Amino acid sequence: MDRTQLLTQTFGPLISAYGWLIPLFLLLSLLKTRAIKGVFGEFKVNLAARLFLDKRTYTLFKNVTLPTTDGSTQIDHIVVSRYGVFVIETKNMKGWIYGSPQQKTWTQKIHRHTTSFQNPLHQNYKHTQALQAALNLDSGKIFSVVVFVGDSTFKTPMPDKVVHTRGYIRYLKNKVRPVLSDSDVVTICGQIQSGRLKPSIGTHLNHVKHVKALVEAKQRQQGNSCAQCGKPMVLRTARKGDHQGKQFWGCSGYPKCRMTKQVV
């Protein structure tokens, strides 16, 4: 009996009985990825808009990628109405959130695991500025909103213009003074539809590549690149060992490059 036959006889019955666990495990692993979490977060915001906003008053655009002078910018949701143009950034996160409007990075803490992420107010400001320039709108007619979905709790005061899922519906409906005419709304919707890049996997991948290049360039300017391979260093948290829970700089080229350095 050769090795293949031996393995088939040994594991064949197990695979037949429990083979369904393999695709289930792969599916659960996929659902935990950042990209899929982002998709679910955007779906919740989209669903809330469709359920609680009058389509005759509010026009929803989702996943809008706009060309910019240096590449592109991607906006999760845009809502257009007579009460203004709302630029919505979605964050699907759980755990404790720490952050203030002035900080460049905010912190997510889940038990002993701590992660830093870009201040979403700063992130959405760039989106708002790009859309304002594309539409040639006054600043008083465009509004930034950051929506946190998922089981997250702010352990610092929740900044202005940062809300939970249903909170953004209230935010939009609280704007009751018209700042745009009906013809303005039609024109703006047409500009967004004609000015956006065609929604596709290729458009998304090109934008991701552009953002990655910007991050790497910024890291190099700050002198925070790997001394071994030159790639950007990213902030990580030790999950085990004597330094469990402590943050450190690790090479973004991991696991090919395992260079690390201490956080000063």
Q: Which residue is associated with the tokens 């991701």?
A: 208
For the chain, give the number of residues. Answer: 264
Strand (E) or helix (H) holding 210: helix 201-221
* Residue bearing the bigger pLDDT, 242 or 9: 242
Confidence of residue 232 (pLDDT cuts 50, 70, 90): confident
* pLDDT computed for residue 30 by the predictor: 42
Percent above pLDDT 90 for the chain: 41
* pLDDT computed for residue 200 by the predictor: 63
* Contact assessment for residue 237 and residue 246, using Cβ atoms and an 8 Å cutoff: yes
The predicted model gives 164-180 an average pLDDT of 92
DSSP state of 139: G
The predicted model gives 144-168 an average pLDDT of 91
- Chain mean pLDDT for the chain: 80
Q: Where are the alpha helices (DSSP H) in 32-155?
A: 34-52, 120-135
Tokens of 65: 């990628």
Q: Where are the alpha helices (DSSP H) in 151-200?
A: 165-174, 182-195
* Contact assessment for residue 93 and residue 114, using Cβ atoms and an 8 Å cutoff: no
| Domain spans in the chain, listed from the N-terminal domain onward | 1-32, 36-222, 223-264
The predicted model gives 143-151 an average pLDDT of 92
* Contact assessment for residue 261 and residue 251, using Cβ atoms and an 8 Å cutoff: no
CA distances from 85 to 76, 122, 194, 218 (A): 14, 18, 16, 30
- Amino acid identity, position 235: L
φ/ψ bin of 30: left (φ > 0), alpha (ψ from -120 to 50), beta (otherwise): alpha
Q: Where are the alpha helices (DSSP H) in the chain?
A: 3-18, 21-31, 34-52, 120-135, 165-174, 182-195, 201-221
* Contact assessment for residue 131 and residue 142, using Cβ atoms and an 8 Å cutoff: yes
The predicted model gives 60-86 an average pLDDT of 90
Tokens of 134: 């594309």
Confidence of residue 198 (pLDDT cuts 50, 70, 90): confident
For 57, other C-beta atoms within 10 Å of its C-beta total 14
C-alpha span between 139 and 135 (Å, rounded) = 11
CA distances from 159 to 147, 155, 218 (A): 11, 11, 26
